[in-house]
Amino acid sequence: MKKTMTKIWKSYSIGVVVVIVGIVLSLLTPRFMSMSNLLNVMTNASLVAIMGLGMTLAIASGNFDLSVGSTAALAGCISFSLVPSIGVPASIVAGLAAGAIVGFINGLIITELRVPAFIATLGMMTIIRGVALIYTDGKDLYLFGQTEYKILSGAYLFGIPTPIFFAVGIALLLGFVISQTRFGRHILAMGSNLSASERSGIPTSRVLWAIFSIVGATAALSGMIISSQVLTANGRLASGIELSAIAVVVLGGTALSGGQATMVGTLLGALLISMVNNGLNLLNVPIFYQELTVGVLMLGALAVNISQGFDIRSLFRRQA
Amino acid sequence: MENAPEVGKHPVHVMRGINRLWEIDKTMSKNSHNVVLEVQGLTRRFPGVLALNQVDFDLRAGEVHAVVGENGAGKSTMINILAGVLQPSAGEFLLDGNPIVFHNPADAQQAGISVIFQEFNLIPHLSVSENIFINREPTRNGMIDWKSMHQRAEEALKRLEIDIDPRVPVSSLSVAQQQLVEIARALAFDARVIVMDEPTAALSEREVDRLLEIVSSLAKDNVGVIYVSHKLEEVFQVADRITILRDGAHILTDVASTLDEEKLIYAMVGRALVHGKCPDRTLGEVVLTVKNLNVEDSVHNVSIELREGEVLGLAGLMGSGANEVVEALFGLRKAQADEIVLQGKALAIDNPRNAIQSRLGYVPNDRKTAGLLPDLSLKQNISIGILERLRKFFWIDSDREHEAAETYREKLNVRCSSLDQRISDLSGGNQQKVMLARALAEDCKVLLLAEPTRGVDVGAKAEIYSLIDLLVESGMAVLLQSSELPEIIRLANRVMVFSSGQSRKELTGEELTQEAVMALATRV
């Protein structure tokens, strides 16, 4: 009985927390529960959730990607710069491709240069940020009049903003991938025991490249959505977002030690952070306190995660 | 034993009382036996499991007290309680006759109890001295006094007659040497009780002998040693008394000289175990030919011919090349050979993936680091190598996966509550069977087994042996690397003995005895 209770708590704790925080916020400020505010909360959650979903794959495989913020910026800039020449749909595809390529390079550095993911992506975080700034010459890119690009963020389907569809769609897709496909099983196996995975015939390098390519693509999508909200892109876009992306995964209950993943958890983790930020806004709490709150939330989630067996030193071990 | 109370005359609880009185009487009459550590009614509950149930145990200064039992008998729980890692649910803990409670490992260490776990508590990058004096480094003016530290470490090592430079990092030492460093550390802590958990699991025969000598000399110095092991031969070599646990309960404690292996096994598993020579093997066609295999620095010009229905044993001490041959064939080491042919097809041995596709199956020598996928279920651990075959469109057909896993679970008699149970919740023996199941599911023609029964209890061992017999009868060819001589003799019809990276001789038939293998293996 006690065991099933712990199990239930483990799988649904984030859901319970989301509900409680929701109730508390709606009591504190009635504006919180308004339809437009809730959609706003969910849209903001989606921005981080999308790259967080990709990140969930990386963490499930026992890896990490710190370069997602820079990748998001580079993809936004590349995509924006190409709109005049190749049009909106193709430039979005180009942005996604740029993200995937950055991710693929991350993977290559990890497997071929044998650098731990943590270090490899930390280096790439700075490199890609530099590339984005060089590419834009440090200037802002605007898309005046190209409202077509707004389809990524400002459009509605059945009254619901598109980013929410992207987040939920990607969660469903990756949730299926991780639980039902061979690729997903390989990811979990690698996160569980890498050397046993190699001995089971899993092409570990190829799986890793694929994981990081997907992380890159989801980061790119997040970056393009963020850019499209204001129809502006620049090399400083989404800096610092990588920590939020990791935080939502951890909050969602995916073990940092790898071998296990929950996409729904990641969605809810993103929702929680977005709700807290929004609530603090509505309560007129200065923005600095919001940063502090997210930091505390992340530390709290990490502490719970570590108590379940994660060894922080594993971050610095060579992976593949 | 003449004063022992008669069993059966009184109800159990009265018997326990009488026994205890009698024990006290016995110790009082022999004053030399002074009990350092005693536990009474030690009980530990885990959710759904009674890991230890009313266990009584005592340790005298200067004795080696072996604790034996199958996996799951409660040995590890007991060790963890002694080490202060776990707290008992009930029971009394006496040190020198005074009740004591350990809240954490530091308490136990303070009290003079040092536990040497199977996974060492050494810090690989630090030197031997630093490891021995960790947390108690000798200081001078607030800085570490390196000179005196190295000197004292040297003394501690000398006391054990160990020839290790205390300045080298622990990571540069062999497993056996690391173990000795652990013992030196325990002594440097002035331990009066040293608990050793399966200390010889990773040692070669020669190193085992050396360790047992040291254990005996510890006892002579009036240290109490609790020696936990699966290997009964060692237990009889070194123990003064033996305690047997089964299913968390205390079965018996007796002087070692009054027990024998058969009695012990019977008490451990509740049944007798068949030992002995390998059954007659019917050999078929040659399936695997290896000509002049070379692995850098570890294997030189080894040629192998393996037939259907054959178990070829690769014997040798650690580092002799036997294990390296197996790993090279599975593509885990850089190797060259003039020719490797499996079922008439040339074999590329550059990675495990190719090896599996060429229908080589492999059970690694250390399932924990190289075999188990601890976060995955029993089913997923079996199916991991055959997912391609279970594919339906672009996902895994879960019905067929279940079916395949169930087939092999049944074939290998893996005991579990469900196929979806996490593999890490199974006993060592069942985990090892899953490792075999994974290899068999891949439909291999040749099975490479490295230490197939390491860390497995006696009952599961017997099961695995008869499983291998069955497989071989149906035409499987097995390459068996093992450092346990009785295992090699029991399973292999032909044995290649390795030393210094070379195959010294092949033994079959009458020639094939433990003594002959040992003699060849130790010849440099």
Fold classification of B274-359+444-524 (topology level): Rossmann fold (3.40.50)
Distance, CA of B516 to CA of B313 (rounded, Å): 14
Count Cβ atoms below 10 Å from residue B139 Cβ, excluding itself. Answer: 11
Q: What is residue B21's predicted lDDT score, i.e. its pLDDT? A: 44
With a cut of 90, say whether residue B308 has pLDDT above it: yes
Kindly list the residues of chain A whose beta carbon comes within 8 Å of any beta carbon in chain B.
Answer: 2-3, 176, 180-182, 185-186, 188-189, 191-193, 195-203, 255, 258-260
* DSSP string computed for B25-40: HHHHHSTT--EEEEEE
Average pLDDT value for residue range B433-445: 94
pLDDT tens-digit series, residues B265-307: 778 766 555 567 788 899 999 999 999 999 988 899 999 999 9
pLDDT, position A224: 96
What is the model's pLDDT at position A53?
A: 98
Distance separating alpha carbons of residues A180 and A187, to the nearest angstrom:
12
Q: Enumerate the residues of chain A whose CB falls inside 8 A of the CB of residue B396.
A: 180-182, 185
Reading phi first (left if > 0) and then psi (alpha if -120 to 50, else beta), residue A242 is in alpha
- Average per-residue pLDDT in chain B? 85
Report the distance separating Cα A222 and Cα A52, nearest Å: 9
* Model confidence at A243: pLDDT above 70: yes
Task: Name which of B511, B518, B474, B472 is nearest B494 in CA terms.
Answer: B511
Average pLDDT over residues B467-488: 91
pTM > 0.80: yes or no = no
DSSP B4: P
What is the C-alpha separation between B97 and A89, in angstroms, rounded? Answer: 82
Least Cα distance to A52 among A181, A242, A210 occurs for A242
DSSP class of residue B278?
P
Q: What is the residue whose two structure tokens read 């490891």?
A: B131
Token digits of residue B176: 């056996």
What is the bridge-based pairing of β-strands B143-144 and B139-140? antiparallel
Tell me: pLDDT of B23 over 70: no
d(CA A102, CA A229): 23
pLDDT for B32 beyond 50: no
Q: Is there a contact between B373 and A192 if contact means CB atoms under 8 Å apart? A: yes
Domains in chain B: boundaries: 62-84+103-269, 274-359+444-524, 369-443
CA of A269 to nearest chain B CA: how many angstroms apart? 22
- pLDDT tens by residue, A272-297: 999 999 999 999 988 888 888 878 88
- String of DSSP letters for B77-129: HHHHHHTTSS--SEEEEEETTEE---SSHHHHHHTTEEEE-SS----TTSBHH
**Which candidate, B331, B339, B348, places its Cα nearest to that of B448?**
B331
- Cβ separation of B398 and A180 shorter than 8 Å? yes
pLDDT band, very low/low/confident/very high, at B5 (cuts 50, 70, 90) = very low
Candidate from B47, B356, B372 with C-beta closest to A201: B356
Q: Are B455 and B428 spatial neighbours (Cβ–Cβ below 8 Å)? A: yes
CA distance B208 to A147: 77
Q: Which residue of B lies nearest to A189 if distances are taken between CA atoms? A: B373
- Name the DSSP letter for residue B424: G
pLDDT tens profile B359-394? 999 999 889 889 999 999 999 999 999 999 999 988
Q: Which of B362, B380, B387 sits opposite A199 (nearest CB)?
A: B362
Q: What span, in angstroms and rounded, lies between the C-alpha atoms of B512 and B503?
A: 15
Express each pLDDT in A175-228 by its tens digit: 999 999 999 999 999 999 999 999 999 999 999 999 999 999 999 999 999 999
pLDDT band at B233 (very low <50, low <70, confident <90, very high): confident
pLDDT band at B16 (very low <50, low <70, confident <90, very high): very low
CATH number listed for the domain at residues B62-84+103-269 = 3.40.50.300
Residue B312, phi then psi, degrees to nearest 5: -100, 120
Of A180-194, B197-211, B332-346, B406-420, minimum mean pLDDT range: B197-211
Residue of B nearest to A199 (CA): B352
In chain A, domain spans: 42-310
Backbone angles phi, psi at B135, to 5 degrees: 75, -5
Same fold: B62-84+103-269 with B274-359+444-524:
yes
Nearest-by-CA chain B residue for A309: B375
Q: CA of A256 to nearest chain B CA: how many angstroms apart?
A: 12
Cβ within 8 Å of residue A177, ≥6 positions away:
A57, A183, A184
| pLDDT reported for residue B10 | 47
| Interatomic CA distance for residues B170 and B122, integer angstroms | 7
For residue B488, the one-letter residue type is I
| Cβ pair A202:B384 closer than 8 A | yes
What is the Rg, in whole angstroms, of the alpha carbon atoms belonging to chain A? Answer: 19
CA distance A235 to A75: 10
Q: Among candidates B32, B36, B33, which has minimal Cα distance to B224?
A: B36
By the CB < 8 Å criterion, does B392 face chain A? no
- Find all residues with CB under 8 Å of B439, minimum gap 6, and list them: B361, B362, B363, B385, B447
Identify whether the C-beta of residue A28 lies closer than 8 Å to the C-beta of residue A283.
yes
State whether residue B2 is helix, strand or coil: coil
A275 with A251: CB under 8 angstroms? no
How much is the pLDDT for B274? 52
Chain centroid to CA B181: 19
Q: Are the Cβ atoms of A200 and B48 closer than 8 angstroms?
A: no
**Alpha-carbon separation of residue B470 from B254, B282, B306, B466 (angstroms):** 38, 12, 17, 6
How high is the ipTM of this complex? 0.86
Q: Which two tokens stand for residue A195?
A: 């050397």
Q: How confident is the model at residue B22 (pLDDT cuts 50, 70, 90)?
A: very low
The CA distance from A246 to A185, in Å, is 21
Q: Which fold has domain A42-310?
A: ABC transporter involved in vitamin B12 uptake, BtuC (1.10.3470)
Q: How many CB atoms lie within 10 A of CB B289?
A: 17
Q: What is the dihedral of CA B16, B18, B24, B26, to 10 degrees?
A: -110
Q: Which of B395, B424, B425, B443 to mutate to test the interface with A (most CBs of A within 10 A)?
A: B395
Q: CA-to-CA distance for B516 and B524, rounded, in angstroms? A: 14
| Residue A246: closest CA among A41, A44, A3, A65 | A65
Q: For A104-124, what is each residue's pLDDT tens digit? A: 999 999 999 999 999 999 999
